[in-house]
Structure 1
Amino acid sequence: MEETSQALQDFTASYCDNWQQVRGSWPVSEQLHGIASPCVVSSEESVVYWQPQPFSLAKNLDAVERALDLRIQPAVTAFYTTQFAGDMAAQIGGCRLSLVQVWSEEDFVRIQENLIGHLVMKRRLKHSPTLFIATTESELDVISVCNLSGEVILEQLGTQKRETLAPSLAEFLKSIQAVIGE
């Protein structure tokens, strides 16, 4: 868990540093404007400036584990319980992605509900369990962690199609590059 937390914190620091260098500001989000969070630095007409904050809740995904009677990969727990932050754009190879982050305490509840829904869908389809960590430009593809192997994969929702991107979540976080909003 510690390796994943550190890799996420390192990527986040690099992401924020890149924003400072390129834009001279903290990261900006239109989607999160008007939504309360400990991350909010300031707001303007239709955007919010944010900076990461320490995670203040219990560092577990017990609600997900209890709902599905499933032990979650510790790396995924670390990913979702290291910090509050806005989603962060990145790329790996030619794949552009947005890391899913917890924006607030209320958002943590929503993310757990979405993880439960994702796992229920996987169970109904008789697919191995995965936990999403990032979205892609395609609505059909998500980046997930395989709950059996711990590998990070690009998977096509509703199918068995998947491509391994990294052997672990920590390695994945170390290999992605920040993409600063154009």
Structure 2
Amino acid sequence: MDIEIANALTTFTTRYCDAWHETQGTWPQSADLYGVPSPCIISSLDDRVLWQPKPFTAEENVNAVERAMDLVVQPAVHTFYTTQYAGDMTASVDGISLTLLQTWSEDDLQRVQENLIGHLVTQKRLKLSPTLFIATLDSELDVISVCNLSGEVIKETIGTRNREILAPSLADFLTRLEPLL
């Protein structure tokens, strides 16, 4: 596990949860995750769940992606998806609003890996260098990803060569995130 990434992610998550406590007086809430089992769930309300991050307890890697695509995934991506169970978190960096993706449960890790594989298959078919997404944007065509060759965090338009470097590393990117509720 990459300790620098794990620390940056848990520090951001703490700031995110603190912002919820300060502005809403509760733990983070999600309507999208209502009815989906997770160790993070504190309680369920009529149409949403309250959640708090929990330590990750499954195998700490995304090896299914490596096996399926016959490539070595950046260690930062392994750590990003296996540091904690948490709900997706909204944030901003450099004026860009995003939703930081997280692993909600052990079953969710399988879904995440299947989606990463699909993303990489598309890139391979289009002869694009491999990236692994970590966040979504309002535009369904744009995502925030980790370049699997350099480790840089980029904003990319799916299926194109349009890429903009946002940070030299995932740790740097996570450190610069600001919670956005």
SS of residue paired to 2:99: strand
Q: Which aligned pairs between 1:1-182 and structure 2 lie closer than 5 A?
A: 1-180=2-181
Paired with 1:164 and 1:93, the residues of 2 have a C-alpha distance of: 12
Q: Which amino acid aligns with 2:92?
A: Q
**TM-aligned CA deviation for residue 153 of structure 1:** 0.2
SS of residue paired to 1:31: coil
**TM-aligned CA deviation for residue 18 of structure 1:** 0.7
Give the TM-score of the pair, scaled to structure 1: 0.98
SS of residue paired to 2:135: strand
Paired with 2:100 and 2:56, the residues of 1 have a C-alpha distance of: 16
Q: Which segments of 5 or more consecutive residues in structure 1 lack a partner in the other structure?
A: none
Q: Which amino acid aligns with 1:165?
A: L
Paired with 2:91 and 2:180, the residues of 1 have a C-alpha distance of: 5
Paired with 1:124 and 1:5, the residues of 2 have a C-alpha distance of: 32
Name the Cα RMSD after superposition. Answer: 0.5
Give the paired residue count. 180
Residues 73-117 of structure 1 deviation map (CA, whole Å, 9 limit, x = unaligned): 000100000000000000012210000100011101000000000
Q: Which amino acid aligns with 1:15?
A: Y
SS of residue paired to 2:80: helix
Residues 34-68 of structure 1 deviation map (CA, whole Å, 9 limit, x = unaligned): 11000000111101000000001111111110001
SS of residue paired to 1:96: strand
Q: Which segments of 5 or more consecutive residues in structure 2 lack a partner in the other structure?
A: none
Paired with 1:13 and 1:27, the residues of 2 have a C-alpha distance of: 11
**TM-aligned CA deviation for residue 158 of structure 1:** 1.0
Give the TM-score of the pair, scaled to structure 2: 0.99
Paired with 2:149 and 2:171, the residues of 1 have a C-alpha distance of: 16
Paired with 1:93 and 1:67, the residues of 2 have a C-alpha distance of: 34
**TM-aligned CA deviation for residue 125 of structure 1:** 0.5
